[in-house]
């Protein structure tokens, strides 16, 4: 009996030791080689234990390649999958059903049926209420907020924004468009009605070709832009609330650690991005006659006062410091 007891005790100790030393295995699916994907992955890896085993897979922009990779993972499943980007998240959705999945860097996940029951996600968009509260603190004397959007991509977000605007004393003037070629006419109609233009993450609205038009049109009308990108702020927008990919990656790592302990934690849910960063353009504020308080400037992670659309504007050369 004593020998049997010792054998059971030894086995229990070995299991306990294995449980504390077993390295978690994580597969990272990346949609493509994009800098912000890489930064999110770097943030994710930096926040994990050094004993965690991570294997990277690159879909190279091909969903079918991602599905093949995801199928291969079913044969010897990792403890968790991180999916970065839409195609990676869709590959995981279509092929991985039991393994916990955390996804990030996916715009409008609900449009694609994400998350599913075994998935948890980190949203790209900061909640409308948070963005509008920040806008209000920057420009307390401006209340008419104009926004262009695509109903298919951003309709739910706009409905949330309308609800969030009223308690803040803001009036949201929203104009839906269906095609990029509608932007010029829609913007010209919108600008005389508003005090601020709010550019949100909407792929139909914000494109590389449309950005110069937005910046030039609003500068000519002396209407500030509040947006989501520090790059746009550097180019002339007044301010933005920015979700940093590194921080998103670290948030995904925190979720991953929790789900490795209990796969049911947060399953089927999506979290808003944590710790969004404020970006300000002091040149734009000066040109537009907007006084940004010293406290607000101190809160900003990104502060620009140099070159950009204002600097290139013929009448604005005197604002270059």
pLDDT at residue 31 in the model: 98
Q: Which residue has the tokens 């990030």?
A: 104
pLDDT of 278:
97
Structural domain of 204: 128-242+276-319
Evaluate whether residue 297 is within a structural domain: yes
287 and 184 together in one domain: yes
What CATH number does residue 256 fall under?
A: 3.40.50.2300
**Ranges in the chain, pLDDT < 70:** 1-22, 306-321
Do 190 and 280 belong to one domain?
yes
For residues 195 and 283, state if they share a domain: yes
Same domain, 251 and 308: no
User: Same domain for 184 and 50?
Assistant: no
Residues 190 and 49 in one domain: no
Q: Is 92 exposed, middle or buried (0-12, 13-18, 19+ CB in 10 A)?
A: buried
Are 264 and 313 in a shared domain?
A: no
In a domain, 197, yes or no: yes
pLDDT for the residue numbered 133: 97
Residues 88 and 162 in one domain: no
In a domain? residue 212 = yes
Whether residue 8 lies inside any domain: the answer is: no
How confident is the model at residue 138, as a pLDDT?
Answer: 97
101-106 and 80-84 beta bridge pairing: parallel
Q: So what's the pLDDT on residue 318?
A: 29
Question: Structural domain tally of the chain?
Answer: 2
User: Are 223 and 300 members of one domain?
Assistant: yes
Report yes or no on 5 lying in a domain: no
In tens, the pLDDT along 177-225 reads 999 999 999 999 999 999 999 999 999 999 999 999 999 999 999 999 9
Does some domain include residue 11? no
Predicted confidence at residue 22, as pLDDT, reads 62
């Amino acid at each position: 009996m004593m020998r049997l007891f010792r054998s059971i005790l030894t086995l229990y100790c070995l299991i306990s030791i294995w449980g504390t030393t077993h390295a978690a295995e994580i597969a990272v699916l990346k949609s493509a080689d994009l800098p912000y994907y890489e930064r999110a992955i770097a943030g994710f890896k930096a926040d994990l234990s050094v004993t965690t085993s991570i294997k990277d897979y690159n879909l190279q922009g091909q969903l079918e390649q991602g599905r093949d990779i995801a199928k291969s993972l079913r044969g010897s499943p990792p403890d968790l999958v991180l999916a970065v980007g839409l195609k990676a998240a869709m590959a995981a959705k279509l092929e991985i059903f039991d393994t916990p999945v955390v996804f990030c860097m996916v715009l409008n996940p609900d449009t694609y049926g994400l998350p599913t029951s075994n998935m948890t996600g980190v949203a790209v968009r900061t909640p409308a209420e948070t963005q509008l509260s920040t806008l209000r603190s920057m420009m307390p004397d401006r209340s008419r907020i104009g926004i262009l959007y695509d109903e298919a991509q951003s309709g739910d977000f706009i409905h949330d924004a309308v609800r969030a605007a009223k308690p803040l004393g803001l009036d949201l003037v929203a104009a839906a468009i269906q095609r990029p070629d509608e932007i010029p006419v829609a913007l010209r109609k919108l600008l005389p009605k508003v005090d601020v233009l709010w550019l949100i993450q909407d792929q139909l609205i914000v494109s590389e070709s449309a950005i110069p038009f937005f910046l030039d049109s609003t500068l000519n009308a002396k209407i500030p832009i509040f947006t989501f990108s520090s790059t746009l702020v550097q180019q002339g927008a007044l301010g933005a609330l920015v979700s940093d990919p590194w921080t998103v990656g670290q948030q995904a790592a925190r979720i991953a650690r929790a789900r490795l302990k209990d796969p049911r934690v947060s399953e089927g849910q999506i979290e808003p991005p944590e710790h969004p960063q404020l970006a300000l353009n002091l040149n734009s504020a000066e040109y537009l006659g907007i006084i940004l308080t010293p406290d607000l400037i101190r809160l900003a992670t990104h502060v620009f006062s140099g070159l950009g659309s204002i600097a290139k504007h013929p009448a604005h050369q005197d604002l270059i410091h």
